[in-house]
A = this chain, B = another copy of it.
Amino acid sequence: MVIIMNPEATAENISEVIRTIEGVGLEAKIMEGAQQKIVGVIGDKTRMASVAIDALPGVDHSVSISKSYKLASREFHPQSTIINIDGVKIGGETPVVMAGPCAVESRKQILEAAEIIKEGGAQFLRGGAYKPRTSPYSFQGLEIEGLKYLAEAREKTGLKIVTEVTTVEGIDPVAEYSDVMQIGARNMQNFGLLKEVGKRGKPVMLKRGLAATIDEWLNAAEYIMNEGTQDVILCERGIRTYETYTRNTLDMSAVAAVKHLSHLPIVVDPSHGTGKWRMIKPMAFAAIAAGADGLMMEVHPNPARALSDGSQSLTAENYREVMAGVKKLAKFIHDENLNPIVY
């Protein structure tokens, strides 16, 4: 942390800043120039959380210069994390694909979807049994019944299951019926939920919040890891911007940012990221070329009849086409050793 003093700050003001820093066991260094005086803080940033240095007299503002997360940080853990889910590796040499409908709507729908997903070559079936919806009058999910249909689909196809958990009470059933528990964008800073999920030790996929910075996102992962769960997968799903043509703005550069700052794997969700099925293919290809560890895509047997997010879902035919391209592209990048990421 660096503290910038006002031009009119007095020597006593600076002394108080230094005493405050030293009071929490940190070291202060002064840099003094003709125009400005700066005080630098050396040591563990987390200790500064207990003082509001900006509120001291003579302080203009302060600038944070170190990260507030550790377990999620690549500095702390230089080797990339590979998460092994019964033989399916996330973060390894080959990208994984998670596909399926936005919501589990019926036994028939999810079993039909699972067949399509399996045949196209994805490793995971996705589908929400608990749906966080903007309006209380929209379809809210089949809940426990939906989870059971997912489990049945797993049994029939061998696909792994990733599904969202939205409440603390939902953790038990979701943990029982799934392979990866998903934290949705709206719950990225539902810290109570993060802590409870983190106590389970089961792999978690953490979607980026609607308007979360990368720093906040990695801090949210830190909440989970700090409780004991190291297997956290990050999922970029678009951020909220002024642009209205797309549902969100897919932040493709988050792949490179996360790879640089963290050892955790990252997958990209072009369905939520754009809101338009037409854009899934180019954005899926782009994510693979950028070095993402996987994709999450919405696929529905009949998008026009989907109870949720049909306009951002692929048909079976589109899905097969996207998968064919994704597989070729991933193999080429791997075989040619193209290594998009610069750590």
Interface on A for B, CB 8 Å cutoff?
2, 4, 7, 20, 27, 29, 31-36, 38, 40, 42-44, 46, 49-56, 63, 65-66, 68-69, 75, 132-139, 166-170, 186-187, 189-193, 209-211, 213-216, 219, 222-223, 226, 239-246, 249-253, 255-257, 260, 273-274, 276-279, 281-283, 285-291, 303-311, 313, 318, 325, 328-329, 332-333, 336, 338, 340-342
- Please state if A31 and B42 are interface contacts (CB–CB under 8 Å): yes
Chain B residues, CB < 8 A from A291? 282, 285
- Please state if B166 and A191 are interface contacts (CB–CB under 8 Å): yes
Known: A65-B38, A211-B242. A279 touches B256 (CB 8 A): yes
- Please state if A279 and B305 are interface contacts (CB–CB under 8 Å): no
- Please state if A338 and B342 are interface contacts (CB–CB under 8 Å): no
Chain B residues, CB < 8 A from A255? 282
Chain B residues, CB < 8 A from A65? 2, 4, 36, 38, 63
A-B contact pairs, 9 of them (CB 8 A): A32-B42, A34-B42, A55-B277, A134-B215, A136-B222, A214-B243, A279-B342, A281-B342, A282-B342
- Please state if A52 and B305 are interface contacts (CB–CB under 8 Å): yes
Known: A239-B241, A342-B278. A273 touches B289 (CB 8 A): no
- Please state if A282 and B305 are interface contacts (CB–CB under 8 Å): no
Chain B residues, CB < 8 A from A213? 242-245
CA distance A133 to B209 in the complex (A): 15
Known: A249-B239, A253-B274, A285-B340. A222 touches B54 (CB 8 A): no
